[in-house]
Amino acid sequence: MMDNVGIFHKTVKAMTQATDAAKPPHAVRGWEDPGAPQGTAAFAKAMHVLDLVAAAPLPMRFTDLQKASGLPRATLHRLLAALLDKEMIAVSPADGSYQPGPHLLELAGRTWERMDLRAAAARAIEQLSQTTQETIHVATLSGDSVVYIDKVECAYSLRLHSAIGKRGPVHCTAVGKVMAAFLDADDQRALVRALVLTRHTETTLTTPARLTAALASIRAAGIAFDLEEHVVGIHCAAAPIFDFRARCVGGISLTAPKVRVDLRTLKKYAELVRDAAADATRRLGGRSPTAVAK
């Protein structure tokens, strides 16, 4: 995994390049576009200031930023206040200089972690799909939802309506439950309290007590199942992916209709899902909590 400084600079560079590409050349040079909507112009100026703070070899003071940006004092003050409010930058109490803030580093870390996760799981999910001919997902937790970050479609005409970037519930999906199961105890309790346990089918877990008990069993087994808990006629198996700190950062799931894959076959496939997740963990440079305990 990259260190925070490397993560930060790569993310800011990508953000800045994306902003530059969307603006005409004269606006990129001067960060002024009189014809642009006010919100767009303000965002471009804020990105410019953010990039200056990130690229500086040493923390910059207000006068340094004003000289480098060419912005009026009042405008720069407003932009810095907004960036400070969102913790995108931080100010040193010792000399008033500016540096990358904790929220920006957090966002950068999440972004690069997900990109690393997708790359680490790519080979494993492709092989899993070829072996089973079923739909395979890679997902991560984002707040109180599951976010699907990669997918290999099944080989059959009967397919699932899922997509990369789509969010899903935690309490009734195999991949959501397996990731929740490997959270730290405090984080897991907070997540369970935050979840809206909507009933989707007759088998959906709809009480915190039942969900918590299920998560304990999943953690012990190292595998999770969705037995028609989200969609009638569809069941899934999922296993966790860990990083170098032995934290669960994602999961791999196999999803199939019951008319094609019965429960006995799903449980056999679950071992292949476990192997795929273990392979992704290795490629990510990760290790399981069991390996740490040993």
pLDDT band at 3 (very low <50, low <70, confident <90, very high): very low
Distance CA 254, CA 241 (A): 14
What pLDDT is recorded for position 71?
Answer: 94
What pLDDT is recorded for position 143?
Answer: 87
Worst-scoring range by mean pLDDT, 102-106, 191-195, 206-210, 220-224? 102-106
Distance CA 214, CA 192 (A): 12
Whose structure tokens read 């060419």? Answer: 70
**110-293 CATH pick, 3.20.20.140, 3.10.28.10, 3.30.450.40, 3.30.70.260:** 3.30.450.40
Tens of pLDDT, residue by residue over 27-49, are: 333 344 444 345 688 889 999 99
Question: Average per-residue pLDDT in the chain?
Answer: 84
Residues of the chain with CATH 3.30.450.40: 110-293
DSSP code per residue over 102-137: HHHHHHHHHHHHHHHHHHHHHHHHHHHHHHH-SEEE
Q: What is the mean pLDDT of residues 61-85?
A: 94
**pTM (2 d.p.):** 0.63
Residue 146 predicted with pLDDT over 60: yes
Q: What is the mean pLDDT of residues 163-174?
A: 89
Residues of the chain with CATH 1.10.10.10: 4-100
Worst-scoring range by mean pLDDT, 105-114, 149-158, 194-203, 229-238? 105-114
What pLDDT is recorded for position 244?
Answer: 86
pLDDT band at 135 (very low <50, low <70, confident <90, very high): very high
Tens of pLDDT, residue by residue over 211-240, are: 999 999 999 999 999 999 999 999 999 999
Sequence-ordered list of residues with C-beta below 8 angstroms from that of 215, at least 6 positions apart, any chain: 177, 180, 181, 188, 192
| 21 vs 215 pLDDT, higher one | 215
Worst-scoring range by mean pLDDT, 30-44, 233-247, 250-264, 270-284? 30-44
pLDDT band at 104 (very low <50, low <70, confident <90, very high): confident
Residue 256 predicted with pLDDT over 90: yes
Question: H helices within the chain, ranges in order?
Answer: 4-21, 25-30, 38-55, 62-69, 73-85, 102-132, 174-181, 185-194, 208-221, 263-283, 289-293
Tens of pLDDT, residue by residue over 72-83, are: 999 999 999 999
What pLDDT is recorded for position 33?
Answer: 41
- Tell me if residue 67 falls in helix, strand or coil: helix
Distance CA 264, CA 256 (A): 13
What pLDDT is recorded for position 85?
Answer: 92
Token duo for residue 276: 């795929």
CATH number of 4-100: 1.10.10.10
Residue 15 predicted with pLDDT over 60: no
